[in-house]
Amino acid sequence: MSVSSVNPATNSTNEYYLTRQSQMESNVRSYPRKLPLAIAKALGCWVTDVEGTEYLDCLAGAGTLALGHNHPAVIQSIHDTLASGLPLHTLDLTTPLKDAFTEALLEQLPGGKEEYCLQFCGPSGADGTEAAIKLAKTYTGRSSVISFSGGYHGMTHGSLAMTGNLSAKNAVNGLMPGVQFMPYPHEYRCPLGIGGEAGVDALTYYFENFIEDVESGVTKPAAVILEAIQGEGGVVTAPVKWLKKIREVTEKHNIVLILDEVQAGFARSGKMFAFEHAGIEPDVVVMSKAVGGSLPLAVLGIKRKFDAWQPAGHTGTFRGNQLAMGTGLATIKTIKEQNLAQNAQERGDFLQAEIKKLAVEFPCIGNVRGRGLMIGVEIVDERQKADHMGSLPGDSQLAAAIQAACFNNKLLLEKGGRNGTVIRLLCPLIINQAECEEVIVRFKKALAEALVATRGA
């Protein structure tokens, strides 16, 4: 079928393609409901729809596009791999390209290849978390897992069981058993109702006591899985001393510590991995999204002590994606050569500072948080009474209106957090100062418009 027959000029509208999508795809589709456009092309931080309208993209494939859209290094890698004659699919057979990518990726982990080895999984982050839990159970011989409120680890049967949000879980009976949830520190909404450093201290003690108390009622788990920065949970950053205590306790009791770096990894937080802010070394690191340089790939970094697999103990058809290894290698090189971790930190600091200034004019901005270019803006109803910690009730209706107004102002971003009250910015790591300033201009305009639409003021 020719391009002209599927993309007739007379039908090149967003509505045309969105209607066709709704007719041909499952009801499960999500992003088109909030961001109703059909993409024609994209470059860097910009997306152009089929009607020729340009949007500033602060979603970046939910963090997958570390270098933005169609970065020259990524495109060149694809061309080079295709021209090389390499097979595109190799199962887990090695190639010179895979060898180079493996070595480069190991060099990013603390201790490098002396401390870690890699396992190539199926192509999604959920495949990675499933493999990590299976490995932990294999290594320890135990069956249970500790996860945390607000955490997100995927939508497959096992990974969904370890995810905090109930909306997707309520429709599915019989998820993986043996998952124990514990409270995750939250600077704005302390789960213990204490807040501040005292709240962090209490949660730190609670975790240690929970594991070591012989009357806790819970057997020793195979693994603890967590995100150093919860993404879908509302961009909640784990306190350093809490993470250090988690590491100390799990190491003491030979519990496998799994860090899910699917979204926060690859310089987004201002360091290559978000756990590095706490100076810890996980037993297993789950990587996906940016690890494939925009193409599907999931990889585990495994401390060698914990590599308990027997040959073929965990397999997957699509673990040998050569194009993704090439683009992943190009992404790692570009991140290091252009010091994009520093760019993420500097641009993120600027964006947070500017949004905090907006909070003076728009008190519906209750909390601004995150690290680097992983930023959350919690939207609240400031007309209501604050709780004893000074936290205001969230305003999910206004947050949805802000996202819609941002779209109308050609700014693409996502929501998250409890009841969808957190506006999330996941800008490409290459975003420049002028583009950051434009983000603020459009976001401010959207705030004003959303307030008029929902509150009439």
Domain boundaries, the chain: 3-64+339-455, 73-337
Q: Nearest to residue 243, comparing CAs of 209, 269, 279?
A: 279
Q: What pLDDT does residue 354 have? A: 99
The mean pLDDT value for 121-139 works out to: 97
Residue 10 has pLDDT above 80, yes or no: no
SS3 of 186, please? coil
Residue 344 has pLDDT above 70, yes or no: yes
Q: What pLDDT does residue 275 have? A: 99
The mean pLDDT value for 444-456 works out to: 97
The mean pLDDT value for 201-208 works out to: 97
Specify whether the CB–CB gap between 322 and 95 falls below 8 A.
yes
Strand partners, 181: 147
Please name the amino acid found at residue 243: L
Burial class (CB in 10 A: 0-12, 13-18, 19+), 133: buried
SS3 of 182, please? strand
Six-digit token string for 395: 């305003």
Residue 380 has pLDDT above 60, yes or no: yes
Separation CA 295–CA 265 (nearest Å): 15
Separation CA 83–CA 178 (nearest Å): 48
pLDDT band at 298 (very low <50, low <70, confident <90, very high): very high
Separation CA 317–CA 91 (nearest Å): 6
Please name the amino acid found at residue 198: A
373-to-30, 285, 426 alpha-carbon distances in Å = 23, 20, 6
Six-digit token string for 7: 């993309």
pLDDT band at 168 (very low <50, low <70, confident <90, very high): confident
Out of 3.40.640.10, 3.40.30.10, 3.20.20.70, 3.40.1190.20, which CATH number does the structure's domain 73-337 have? 3.40.640.10
Q: At what angle do helices 322-337 and 72-84 cross, to 10 degrees?
A: 140
Q: What pLDDT does residue 2 have? A: 39
Task: Tell me the CATH number for domain 3-64+339-455.
Answer: 3.90.1150.10
The mean pLDDT value for 335-341 works out to: 98
Burial class (CB in 10 A: 0-12, 13-18, 19+), 219: exposed
Six-digit token string for 279: 């100076």
Separation CA 81–CA 102 (nearest Å): 16
The mean pLDDT value for 116-127 works out to: 96
pLDDT digits (tens, 9 = 90+) for 216-229: 998 999 999 999 99
pLDDT digits (tens, 9 = 90+) for 179-198: 999 999 999 999 999 999 99
Please name the amino acid found at residue 242: W
Specify whether the CB–CB gap between 396 and 409 falls below 8 A.
no
Please name the amino acid found at residue 249: V
pTM score, two decimals?
0.96
pLDDT digits (tens, 9 = 90+) for 231-258: 999 999 999 999 999 999 999 999 999 9
Q: What pLDDT does residue 121 have? A: 95
Strand partners, 424: 376, 414
Torsion (CA) 56, 58, 64, 65 in degrees, nearest 10: 40
Six-digit token string for 100: 């180079």
The mean pLDDT value for 266-295 works out to: 98
